[in-house]
Amino acid sequence: MKIVIVGDGKVGFTLTKQLSQEGHDVVVIDSNPNVLRTSQELLDVAIVEGNGAYVSVQLEANVQTSDLLIAATSGDEVNMLCCLLARKLGCKHTIARVREPAYDQQLRLLKEELGLSLSINPERAAAREIFRLLQFPPFLKRDSFARGRAELVELKLKENNPLIGKRLFELGDLKELNALICIVERYGEITIPSGGFKLLEGDKITIAADAAELARLLRHLNISTHKTQSVHIVGGGRIAEYLAAMLLKAHVRVTIIERDLARAEALSLALEDALIINGDGTDQELLLSEGIKQTDALVTLTGIDEENLIVSMFGNYIGVPKTITKINRTEYYSVFANMGIDTVVSPKLLTSDEIVSYVRAMANTSGGSVTALCTIAEGKAEAIEFFINEDAPYLDIPLKALALKEEILVAAILRSRKVIIPKGNDSMQKGDTVVIVAPTGDAIFDMRDIFINENPKLGAAEKE
Amino acid sequence: MNIRAISIYIGYLLLVEGAFMFAALGVAAIYQEQASLVAFLMTIGVLLFIGLLLTRLRRGPGRVYAREGFVTVALGWVLISFFGGLPFYISGYIPNLLDAWFESVSGFTTTGASILKDVEALSQSMLYWRSFTHWLGGMGVLVFMLAVVPLSKGSGETFHLLRAESPGPSVDKLAPTLRNSAQILYAIYIVLTIIQVLLLVLGGMPFFDSLLNTFATAGTGGFAIKNASIAAYPSPYLQLVIAVFMALFGVNFTVYHLILAGQGRAALKNGEVRLYIGIMLFSTLLIALNILPQYGSFSKAALLSFFQVSSIMTTTGFATADFNLWPQFSRYLLVVLMIFGACAGSTGGGAKQVRLLILLKSLKARMQMMLRPRAVNPVRMDGKQVKEDMISGVYAFMAAYAMICIVSFLLLSFDNKSMETTLSALAACFNNIGPGLDLVGPAGNYSVFSPLSKFVLSIDMLLGRLEIFPLLLLFSPSVWRRRA
């Protein structure tokens, strides 16, 4: 597909990288020649220097014959203008990043006029992700599928967990809970485990589970879940504003520490029930005096990664039960993953996940379409949701008789509002929504990509 | 330094060369040329063996950066020209290995300087291979490799290869992916080649001659298959076709891509092409007037003049007359035309018209600034500003160009040839033209030089084709240091 990306910043670059590696023809527009040069040297893409909201620049990038334009510059207005223009020129689909809360609300009115196929708001997505994590603090990551009915949750095996030392086939009771261990991450390496795999302390596991059974799952795993009743947020940016609104609605006490007085006042007006503190969130004395020792969760959302990391580590040190850290530069994740910073949220990755799943859904028109996509286990694996809307040779055959590629797993099946975490005897049917887990390099675009060869049946190849 | 990645790229390069040599093998089989057949067979064997061995290597974790790109291109060109010369040596047509390498370098760099006294003594298949190296070297072997071998897989690292091999101060990608860009370039190249072959055959030239002369025209090479070069075909139609196509192959290929994309208007406004055509027409007129007394009729003088100007400016080096016998003004004007040569992004050589354009424009801006020190005077080209680093890049290129000329000139002087021979040989080789003046004029050849001079000239040809820096960087210690 021909894709034009306007804006070569953090989100733009992540998207460019992902989409060009999936084999699309990508043209990047930015007004800064230096970032463009970097993109061109690292990725196989074309570059156009200039303002993406100019017709001349869009024509130079051949927007008129493109399938998709993604506007991800720092300015909301520019992004909307880019999309409007691209539609006028004849681009088939447009995606705009719109982050300003006020714009975001009125976008529903304008979406049609602007010809937007999708609008994305990284800050709101990040806030929602954090909110969901705070609902079940033990999970390091939650991704929902099948319209929220199935979830993939990440968990670190700490001491006293009954799973430690067990092999997977010994975990029959887990299956009764409608849960399945999909991925195990150990020393930075991921495995899609088989029955003989033995779990150890310190492993990070990703479990596919019925969303309605999450609390029961935690209880079963001996993990105490006490409800989050108060949250401290350091840094009062857009994510904090979205998050605080969600938390307040769920009757959670919110304290926001913001350095800038004008911003603090604006927050205070917007969030009536929240406690807004004007001060430096990296100041230990201030944090202690604002009762950080007693809080249930600390969320660090300043614009500077280093500050977020330091404050979160301090939170861990003095014993806050749950810390969530916002990180923009995810490249360094493996460096600080060992330092107690285990729950990390990256608006950039959330955004690119959303767009990539949209692009994949556009790219295939048959054989079951992609309806959602999440990167899991630090981007080393992907969970892809398909909706099977046609007859296919792999339907109605028990999973154990299908010849799936190595390291590919059918993690969940949703059939008429019921979540099935599949066992060997279960099969896929027409009308199902299916969640597949695969290593990232595999690039699954189609249900057919998960089988070893054309004939999905096991042993078909040997018989010939 | 990622030695493995470089080895893999070079492996593919040798495989590509080996594959193309099969065509020469076919020609040898058709004409039943025993010695040539054996020579090609042995060379293909060696190429495929080394190529397969290298491409079997595992890639390893390292990445490819700019310096790997430069090293791949420089080493790759040295190696393909070495192996390309082997058939001449093995078959005994050129009994000296250095001479064979010189001939092959001259072929791949599209120079067309020959050490052969009697070209017509070569077998048909040797002639085919000799001319074909022009065609392959013209657009670039690595570009061809990028077009057929899917190497990049979304990563931009092969861009470093394209940049190091393509002529001109900057590289435009014609399509979002490198592979498509390379395919577009070769598609335009192949179509133009086919049209020219057809036109020549229609004019009564034998098919084999048409094909080989077209190879030499398309690559702007200039290896003739007759001792009298193109003068061997007296038909004005044939000479005109070749002259026009030489000029066409000297035009920046992005212009053709623009025309194909329906933006002919933008293509016509291209400043470099305008300068190129302007200089070409003006020089044609000057020389035609200058040689008019020698030939009597203006139309005859004009045709000879146009052919020669087109041949020299595009750095092809064909001849329809012995311009060595022309008046001094015409002879020296031709040598001056050698320096800047053809357009960037074409198959031609020289310092490129776009550099001349940038030099002139920045010179003008400089002079304006002396008059009005506070005036803001950006250098513009095709409606866009030419950035300062591009201008200083052009200055650096011209400085390196001058330096190499001086060193080569002194090394060549050991041969005790006249100033005219030495200088014009240097200009003709460094700018990838072929024939010069005096001893190396259209009627002469390069066999008069000593082995040292042949070696120096071969290196000059490679420096000229790769635009100096890739080859020069090969000798810079920091390229080879393990940790950058």
- Chain A residues whose beta carbon lies within 8 Å of the beta carbon of residue B175: 25, 46
Please state, in angstroms and rounded to a whole number, the distance separating the CA atoms of residues B89 and B99.
Answer: 9
| Beta-carbon count within 10 A of B129 CB | 28
Same domain for A99 and A189?
no
- Chain B residues whose beta carbon lies within 8 Å of the beta carbon of residue A27: 176
Same domain for A432 and A356?
yes
Domain end marker among A70, A101, A120: A120
Taking only the tens of pLDDT, chain A with its 464 residues reads: 899 999 998 889 988 988 888 888 999 999 998 999 888 888 888 999 999 999 999 998 989 999 999 999 989 999 999 999 999 999 988 999 888 878 887 887 877 777 788 888 888 889 998 998 898 888 888 888 877 888 888 888 877 777 888 887 777 666 677 788 888 888 778 888 877 788 888 888 888 888 888 888 888 777 777 788 999 999 999 999 999 999 999 999 999 999 999 999 999 998 888 999 999 988 888 988 888 888 999 999 998 988 999 999 999 889 888 899 998 887 777 777 767 777 888 888 888 888 888 887 777 654 457 777 777 877 788 888 888 877 778 888 888 888 888 788 888 888 888 888 887 788 888 888 888 888 877 767 777 778 877 677 766 544 33
> With an 8 Å Cβ cutoff, are A42 and B155 in contact?
yes
- Chain B residues whose beta carbon lies within 8 Å of the beta carbon of residue A39: 156
How many structural domains comprise chain A? Answer: 4
A255 touches chain B (CB under 8 A): no
Q: Which tokens in the block code for residue B245?
A: 């196509």
Q: Residue A297: left (phi > 0), alpha (psi -120 to 50), or beta?
A: beta
Rounded to a whole number of angstroms, the distance from the CA of A2 to the nearest CA of chain B is 9
Please state, in angstroms and rounded to a whole number, the distance separating the CA atoms of residues A330 and A345.
Answer: 9
Beta strand spans in A240-296 (E): 253-258, 275-278
Of all residues in chain B, the one with the smallest CA distance to A45 is B176
| Beta-carbon count within 10 A of A340 CB | 12
> With an 8 Å Cβ cutoff, are A41 and B156 in contact?
yes
Residue-wise burial string across A443-464, b where 16 or more C-beta atoms lie within 10 A, e elsewhere = bbbbbbbbbeeeebebeeeeee
CB A22 within 8 A of CB A88: no
- CB nearest to A25's CB, from B157, B177, B387: B177
The confidence score (pLDDT) of residue B106 equals 94
B266 touches chain A (CB under 8 A): no
Rounded to a whole number of angstroms, the distance from the CA of B367 to the nearest CA of chain A is 28
Best to test chain B binding among A2, A44, A64, A65 (most B CBs inside 10 Å): A44
Q: What is this structure's pTM?
A: 0.81
A442 touches chain B (CB under 8 A): no
Cα A343 to Cα A142, A216, B321, B448: the distances in Å are 10, 22, 80, 77
Count how many pairs of residues, chain A against chain B, have C-beta atoms within 8 Å.
51
Q: Is A56 exposed, middle or buried (0-12, 13-18, 19+ CB in 10 A)?
A: exposed
Rounded to a whole number of angstroms, the distance from the CA of A381 to the nearest CA of chain B is 19
Amino acid at B460: D
> With an 8 Å Cβ cutoff, are B160 and A22 in contact?
no
Same domain for A31 and A96?
yes
Give every CB contact of residue B452 below 8 A, 6+ residues apart in sequence. B411, B414, B415
B147 touches chain A (CB under 8 A): no
Domain end marker among A191, A220, A249: A220
- CB nearest to B176's CB, from A17, A25, A33: A25
Positions of chain B with pLDDT lower than 50, given as ranges: 484
- Half-sphere exposure at residue B450, Cβ-oriented, CA atoms within 13 angstroms: 10
Q: Which tokens in the block code for residue A428?
A: 């896929």
Of all residues in chain B, the one with the smallest CA distance to A42 is B156
CB B153 within 8 A of CB A21: yes
Rounded to a whole number of angstroms, the distance from the CA of A267 to the nearest CA of chain B is 44
Q: Is residue A213 part of a domain?
A: yes
Q: Which tokens in the block code for residue A204?
A: 């990070």
- Chain B residues whose beta carbon lies within 8 Å of the beta carbon of residue A21: 153-155
The confidence score (pLDDT) of residue A199 equals 84
Rounded to a whole number of angstroms, the distance from the CA of B363 to the nearest CA of chain A is 25
Please state, in angstroms and rounded to a whole number, the distance separating the CA atoms of residues B31 and B35.
Answer: 11
Q: Which tokens in the block code for residue A393?
A: 């040779």
Same domain for A202 and A239?
no
Q: Is A105 exposed, middle or buried (0-12, 13-18, 19+ CB in 10 A)?
A: exposed
Closest alpha carbon to A184 in A155, A151, A159: A155
The confidence score (pLDDT) of residue A462 equals 44
Please state, in angstroms and rounded to a whole number, the distance separating the CA atoms of residues A342 and B102.
Answer: 64
Q: Is A397 exposed, middle or buried (0-12, 13-18, 19+ CB in 10 A)?
A: middle
Q: What is the ipTM of this complex?
A: 0.73
The confidence score (pLDDT) of residue B482 equals 65
Best to test chain A binding among B146, B152, B159, B171 (most A CBs inside 10 Å): B159
Give every CB contact of residue A14 below 8 A, 6+ residues apart in sequence. A348, A349, A351, A352
Where residue A56 sits, what CATH number does that domain have? 3.40.50.720
A23 touches chain B (CB under 8 A): yes
> With an 8 Å Cβ cutoff, are B159 and A27 in contact?
no
Rounded to a whole number of angstroms, the distance from the CA of A42 to the nearest CA of chain B is 5
Same domain for A102 and A136?
no
Q: Kindly give the pairing relationship between strand A253-258 and strand A275-278.
A: parallel
Q: Residue A69: left (phi > 0), alpha (psi -120 to 50), or beta?
A: beta
Same domain for A157 and A142?
yes
> With an 8 Å Cβ cutoff, are B176 and A22 in contact?
no
For residue B80, the surrounding DSSP H or E stretch is helix B66-90
Give every CB contact of residue B103 below 8 A, 6+ residues apart in sequence. B85, B88, B94, B114, B115, B116, B130
Rounded to a whole number of angstroms, the distance from the CA of A146 to the nearest CA of chain B is 31
What is the share, in percent, of chain B residues with pLDDT greater than 70?
98
CB B104 within 8 A of CB B131: no
> With an 8 Å Cβ cutoff, are A44 and B175 in contact?
no
Please state, in angstroms and rounded to a whole number, the distance separating the CA atoms of residues A40 and B117.
Answer: 48
Residue-wise burial string across B60-78, b where 16 or more C-beta atoms lie within 10 A, e elsewhere = eeeebeebbbbbbbbbbbb
Distance, first Cα to last Cα, chain A: 36
Q: Is residue A333 part of a domain?
A: no
Beta strand spans in A397-446 (E): 409-415, 418-420, 433-439
Q: Is residue A332 part of a domain?
A: no
Give CA angle at A159 (A155, A165), nearest 5°. Answer: 85
B364 touches chain A (CB under 8 A): no
Same domain for A166 and A97?
no
Q: Which tokens in the block code for residue B322?
A: 């012995």
Please state, in angstroms and rounded to a whole number, the distance separating the CA atoms of residues B402 and B243.
Answer: 30
B177 touches chain A (CB under 8 A): yes
Q: Is residue A416 part of a domain?
A: yes
- Chain B residues whose beta carbon lies within 8 Å of the beta carbon of residue A2: 176
Measured in whole angstroms, how far is the alpha carbon of residue A338 from the centre of its chain? 21
Q: Residue A146 is part of which domain span?
A: 127-220
Give every CB contact of residue A94 below 8 A, 6+ residues apart in sequence. A68, A69, A70, A71, A82, A83, A86, A87, A114, A115, A116, A117
Best to test chain A binding among B70, B177, B258, B387 (most A CBs inside 10 Å): B177
The confidence score (pLDDT) of residue A386 equals 84
B55 touches chain A (CB under 8 A): no
Same domain for A6 and A84?
yes
Same domain for A243 and A277?
yes
> With an 8 Å Cβ cutoff, are B157 and A41 in contact?
yes
> With an 8 Å Cβ cutoff, are B175 and A33 in contact?
no
**Residue reference for tokens 């949701």:** A385
Residue A2 pairs in a beta bridge with A25
Please state, in angstroms and rounded to a whole number, the distance separating the CA atoms of residues A152 and A140.
Answer: 11
Q: Is residue A331 part of a domain?
A: no
A16 touches chain B (CB under 8 A): no
Please state, in angstroms and rounded to a whole number, the distance separating the CA atoms of residues A389 and A380.
Answer: 29
Same domain for A72 and A161?
no
Torsion, Cα of B174, B178, B180, B181 (10° steps): 30
Q: Is residue A161 part of a domain?
A: yes
Same domain for A116 and A67?
yes
Residue-wise burial string across A243-278, b where 16 or more C-beta atoms lie within 10 A, e elsewhere = bbbbbbeeebbbbbbbbeeebbeebbeebeebbbbb
Torsion, Cα of B39, B40, B46, B47 (10° steps): 150
Helix, strand, or coil (residue B239): helix
Same domain for A239 and A308?
yes
**Residue reference for tokens 């001056």:** B336
Please state, in angstroms and rounded to a whole number, the distance separating the CA atoms of residues A88 and A232.
Answer: 46
Q: Is residue A326 part of a domain?
A: no
- CB nearest to A46's CB, from B154, B160, B175: B175
Of all residues in chain A, the one with the smallest CA distance to B175 is A46
Where residue A459 sits, what CATH number does that domain have? 3.30.70.1450
A43 touches chain B (CB under 8 A): yes
What secondary structure, in 3-state letters, does A32-80 show? CHHHHHHHHHHECCEEEECCCCCHHHHHHCCHHHCCEEEECCCCHHHHH
B156 touches chain A (CB under 8 A): yes
Domain end marker among A176, A196, A220: A220
Size of chain B in residues: 484
Helix, strand, or coil (residue B381): strand
Q: Is residue A225 part of a domain?
A: no
The confidence score (pLDDT) of residue A365 equals 52
A35 touches chain B (CB under 8 A): no
> With an 8 Å Cβ cutoff, are A2 and B176 in contact?
yes
